[in-house]
Amino acid sequence: YFVKVAWAWTFWLLLPFITVTTYQFAKSKLLYGRMKSILAVLRRLSTLLVGTAIWYICTRVFMYIENLTGACSTSGKVSEPRGIWNGFDISGHCFLLSYCALMIMEEVAVLEGLSIDQNSRLRVVINALFVSLCFLTMIWVFMFLSTALYFHDFSQKLIGALIGLSAWYGTYRSWYLKPFSPGLPLPNIPLSSKKYSYSR
């Protein structure tokens, strides 16, 4: 059941992380004022709305495909009056877990561009959120492996994982690079300037 609400866990941990890191990044690196920093936060938080839409649409499509391709079969035993629905059940777990893990990895990349005082409370908050997101990612990877070993058949798992990868690629590697999008966690920062910034 824990995996069925994977998007909720991911959403509620990324919400404060994106808010705090984007605001801090906008103020310290981009030198935005208060209002422009808040607008940057709202723009980045729309990433979670996009993720929610992807989750909702994909799970509905998966259920539709299962209903469309399925048929009810019964064992014929008197003790089991209910039938079993057999349809092509695309692995929603493989889809969601791969998408959530990749999304978390993309969002924590902002730490490469942040510079925060070692002894500040903000650093403690960001570190706590970061550790929580890392722990959650480890759970998602473990659950993904468990699903891969024990549930669905190969084609159902493969299609689910490919849809998760496609959703990540379509957003973070394509759409979010465009001006009319939620944008990336580290906008317009060259790789050479990102390295080791958070540790200062």
The residues annotated with a catalytic role in the active site are 93, 152
Per the listing, tokens 């981009």 go with 30
Q: What is the DSSP string of 43-109?
A: HHHHHHHHHHHHHHHHHHHHHHHHHHH-EEE----TT--S-EEE-----HHHHHHHHHHHHHHHHHG
What is the torsional sign of CA 34, 35, 39, 45?
positive
- Two tokens at 149? 């070993």
Cα torsion 172, 177, 180, 186 to 10°: value is 80
